Structure 1
Amino acid sequence: MPPVSPDRPRSAAAAPSPATAAAMTGAVDLAAVKARSEAAARAASAPPPAGGQYVVAVDQANFQAEVLDRSFQVPVLLDLAGARSEASQQLSPLLDKLANEARGRFVVARIDVDGNPQMAQMLQVQAIPTVFAVISGQLVPGFQGSLPEPQLREFIVALLDAAAQAGLSGSVAAADGDQFEPGGPGPADQPSSPAGATDAAGPAQPPEDPRFSAAEQALDDGDFDLAAERYNAILAAEPANSEAQLALRQVGMLKRLSQLAPDVLARADAAPDDAALQLSAADAELANNQIEAAFARLIGLIRRLRGDERSPIRERLVEYFELLGPDDPRVAPARRELANALF
């Protein structure tokens, strides 16, 4: 889900499946607003990596804390390596060297695939080594195999730039002379700017809007109605606030997901013309990253319905399109299919 505002990174929402497994599979997980805000809160209260502790061994027990939660503080490079892989033996020491050189601007989290085959399977690893980046809870594709040091430095520069755009403290771009250059020093000697400061990287991020903080706190407490009320209050004052508009849709989605019956898909498949069941089943599919299935379910229902019966189905599809964003490659074809079904 793309950020709605360049100033406030948008979180994605938790699916019915556990947040950790969802993030590891790269699921869309519409609106992990709640799960990711919890992770961000844990990261804010957790100490930053201690000096010299910029490389950590990761397994299922500490993946949440050392990868997902930590990625709200600094970007995390997830290195899936194997002791029997010659390329891993070349790449891992280089990653460690650059992480220590950067002194906490990013962290290397290493998974031994031989000892953690389930994690490699969950991450759909096809080759060893494989590197992912994790920024603010989002899994970003990296590369497979080893890279020479100059290319690896370029990759890390791009990683730090992406983290800076996501507003991570400790990930602002360093001054020109302190960036990772092929064969050159890392950005280790540039400390992060405090909130509200400006440096060679440009202006710092603006302070948090207390209205959004209050709404997110209600969501963090599981009070969907209060969160919706607070987002609606923002929209009453600023009807064109696109961030509040999207957040309100996400809250509605989360509330519906919290009320889904475990057997909703089976019940919907047994009653293909029950509009309410089909809407609930589509929510479940969307939350589990079965995007095309959710679209096909509702577009098929529109083809079978007539007149005003189709309105709530069309509105739900439009909501999905807006939640996913126009850059999602599945949205444009689904919009065309919807238009064909309607006309």
Structure 2
Amino acid sequence: MSLPPNFGRAVDLSSLGKPKAEPAGPMPGIEITPENLTNEFLSLSKDKPVVLICWSPRSPESQEVVAILGKLALADQGSWVLGRVDVDAQPQVAQALQTRAVPFAVAIINEQMVPLFEQPYPEEQIRMVIDKVLALASEQGVGGAPTEKIEPEEEEAIAALDAGDYAKAEAAYKKLLARKPNDNFAILGLAQTQLMARTDGIDGANVMKEASAHPDNIDIQLQCADIEIVSGYLEPAFARLLRLIPLFDGAEKKLVKDRLIELFALVDPADPRVIKARAALANALF
């Protein structure tokens, strides 16, 4: 990472407003200065990834992100190094890192700078970012690849699925989501488990026949959509349930809407078929 010619210029972060009180107690990570950034951290990034977080006493949100990163660094037991940059006290460093707002996180891997994010995120998403940094560093021969961590509830769910006990697997995933509501793997696992439970032992051909004969029967249409999802026919399944939304009110409409959302969770959110169906559902509801 080469430092720009305007290294000595200050960064204008006046939009943050008036200074606030300094955070209580010591902050995690190593305080970054112009000297240790160039003399220590660049060379250190050849051995393990470095994550720098730019923060300000005027931004409580940025202080929260520093705390989250400190917690994750502690959990990862030295596999990466956390440095913190007070943009008010170290404008030269902030300028060198091209900081435009706080919080702003950047990784340094083998002396190369990799911007990460420049807004506050919850711990689960920051965890995913750090895991990607570790994986990228490992690909470049820096540090080791992140070890996959399996939650105990997920282990319980997988064992239950291997035994064909869908109810126990569902309960395990729900227990994990109660503890970690935004865990994407748990959300996906629960949706897959519920789908397998609903389609277990179902005669797909007969369900499709019944769905054609009774187009407005919610239970049959829900079953048919499940069969279509299992068979890989995403668009027909989404269209089948979207057609029902304007036909019903109250609890019945909510039932169809909730099932659609469950089915969306089974597919990559970036899939254009999901994006299209989500937009159609929003239009139908509002």
- What range describes the TM-score normalised by the shorter chain of this pair? 0.3 to 0.5
Bigger Rg over Cα: 2
Q: How high is the TM-score relative to the length of structure 2?
A: 0.48
Q: How high is the TM-score relative to the length of structure 1?
A: 0.40
